[in-house]
Amino acid sequence: MRSLLPTFALLLCHTITGTASVSMRYFVGILEPVEIAFMRYLLGGLFILPLFFLYRSPNLTRSLCFKTIGLGVLFFALFPFLFAQAFVYTNAARGSLVLATMPIWTMLFAKAIGHEKINLLSLTAIGLSLLGLFISLSDKLFMPTGTTVTFKGELIMLLAALAGAVYATLARPVLRQIPATTMTPIAMLSGCAVLFPFTVASGIDEHVLALSPMQIGLVIYVGIVTGGIAFFFFNWVLTRTTATFNTMFVTLNPIVAIFLGYLFLGEVIQINFVFGVLVVFSGLGLAVYSQQKSI
C-alpha cells in the first residue's frame, strides 16, 4: 500500500489541477492570465509556508536555496507565462495535447544527464497515454483557433512542456536533500516575485477590487487547493518516484477539465472521449506497473 501512495498523490494532484483549468476558463475576460498565476501561487505559497517553519530542514544551504529559487522562477513564473501565452494562438485541445508530451521530454532530458534509464514499458505507457488523449480530444483538435498564425501556439506550449520537463528532472535531486515542505513554498513564492511587476502593470489592484464575493472565493480555492496543495503533492511525489513517472499524469488535466466542463459549463462529451479516457488509464496503469516493478 505504501508504494502506491505516490500514485494516489499524483491522481489527486492532477485531478485538482484539472479543476484549475475550468476555473481559469471562467476567469477569462475578468482577470489577466498573469494575474491568475500570481494570485494562485501567492495564495498557495503562503498557505504552505507554515510547513517551511514547522519542518525546516537543517540541510538548506545557500546553494540549495539559490537552486530552489531558480527552479521556482522556471516553473512558477516562466511556465505559467508560456502556458497562458500559448492559448492566445491555439485552442485548448491542441495546447493540451502538446503539453502532454512533457513526459517524453522529461525522459529524454533525464536520460541525457544520467538521472534515468529509458525502458520499453515506460515508452509504451507514454505512447498509450498520448494516444488516449489524442482520441479524447479528436473532435476538438481541428477546431479553428481564430488566428492565421499557424503552429505558433503549439510551439509556445512546447516550450512550456520543456520547462516543465526541466523542472521535474532538476527538482528531484534538490528534493533528495531538502523536503517538499521546505522547497515548495520557496519555489512558489520566488515565481510570484518575478510575476509581481507584470501584475502591477496589468492593473491587478483594480481587477481584484471588482471581483464579487463568489469570485474571490474561487480565487482562494484556485490558490490554496490547486496551487499550494496540488504542487506540494507534485514535489512530494518527486522525492519518491522518477520525474518521468510524475509527469505522465499530466494527461489527466485536460480529461478532468473536459469532464467538469460537461458538468458545469454545458460542454458536450462525445463517445471518443470515453474511449480515449480508457486508453489513457491503460497507459497510466502500465506506468504504475513499470514503477512497481522497478522498486
Q: Which amino acid is at 72?
A: G
Cα distance between residue 22 and residue 160, in whole Å: 19
- The structure's pTM equals 0.89
Distances (CA, A) of 189 to 82, 161, 245: 18, 21, 26
End-to-end CA distance of the chain: 13
Q: Which pLDDT tens digits describe the chain residue by residue (295 residues)?
A: 456 888 999 999 988 988 887 777 677 678 888 898 899 999 999 999 999 998 888 888 999 999 999 999 999 999 988 887 887 787 777 778 888 899 999 999 999 999 888 888 889 999 999 999 999 888 777 665 555 445 788 898 899 999 999 999 999 999 999 999 999 999 999 999 999 999 999 999 999 999 999 999 999 999 999 999 999 999 999 998 999 999 999 989 888 888 887 887 677 788 988 899 999 999 999 998 887 776 5
Q: Alpha carbon of 82 to those of 52, 87, 95, 199, 256: distances in Å?
A: 28, 9, 11, 15, 21
Dist CA 65 CA 47 (whole Å) = 20
Question: In the structure grid, which three cell numbers stand for residue 220, read together?
Answer: 482562494
